[in-house]
Amino acid sequence: MRIACMLFDGITALDVVGPYEVLQRLPGATVEFVARERGEVRTDNRFLGLVADRSFDEVVAADLLVVPGGFGTRALESDDRTLEWIRELDATTTWTTSVCTGSMLLAAAGLLRGKEATSHWASLPRLADYGAVPTARRVVEHGKVVTAAGVSSGIDMALVLAARIAGEDFAAGVQLAIEYDPQPPFDAGSPDKAPPHVVERLAARYAGRV
């Protein structure tokens, strides 16, 4: 099980670390962090550096691809080399996945045409611009393509995948290993649950950026 996690400048760290923390525990898994070039990328706010050990040129196949999101994806939607690499990997994968605005890159690469898919709630409607069917669920499976909603949803997606790949008993063990017994202090994790003024405040901040 060879897992490729894409990195880029402007990534949201939890988008990729959530699924990674689950998927790296799969039996026989190896995980490679891959960016256009080898070396450090910085997160959306520049506070954290993550290291890409491999370049796009060095990784041309994977069993499972994770495309995370972040403010950096907006520019990459028109970056030919990135979209070409995503298509190249997808041609070899058993599973192609995204978290948050990572699905905008799958869509821009032409991989979501006519397919149900999700994204961060603030970017979800734009999936239709690329011919995808925006679907407001936390994890959306369409054949081998699995998309997750915003940021933290990659943990849930990866546990669903872990169950498909290694069985429910194993996946339950991973959930226990990461002690994923969530107790969020508010019931505000999606736009249909958060107070309207909170949704509006964030939507204004995200407008044109995701």
How far, in whole angstroms, is CA 68 from its chain's centroid? 3
Nearest 5 degrees, angle CA 100-CA 34-CA 28? Answer: 90
Q: Pick the piece of the chain touching a copy of itself (CB under 8 A) from 56-64, 85-93, 109-117, 161-169.
A: 161-169
**Distance in angstroms (rounded) separating the CA atoms of residues 114 and 133:** 6
Least separation in angstroms between residue 155's CB and a copy of itself is 7
Q: Closer to a copy of itself at the Cβ: 45 or 94?
A: 45
Q: Pick the piece of the chain touching a copy of itself (CB under 8 A) from 54-62, 81-89, 104-112, 192-200.
A: 192-200
Question: Binding a copy of itself by CB under 8 A: which of 53, 77, 88, 116?
Answer: 53
Secondary structure element (H or E) that encloses residue 16, with its range: helix 13-23
**Distance in angstroms (rounded) separating the CA atoms of residues 139 and 118:** 7
**Distance in angstroms (rounded) separating the CA atoms of residues 127 and 156:** 21
Closest Cα to residue 161, out of 182, 180, 150, 147?
147
Least separation in angstroms between residue 43's CB and a copy of itself is 8
Q: Are 7 and 41 in contact (CB under 8 A)?
A: yes
Q: Is 100 a catalytic residue?
A: yes
Which residues contact a copy of itself by CB under 8 A?
Answer: 12-14, 17-18, 20-21, 24, 30-33, 40, 45, 47-51, 53, 100, 120-121, 138-139, 149-153, 155-156, 159-160, 163, 168-169, 171-173, 175-186, 188-191, 193-195, 198-199, 201-202
**What are the residue numbers of the active site?**
100
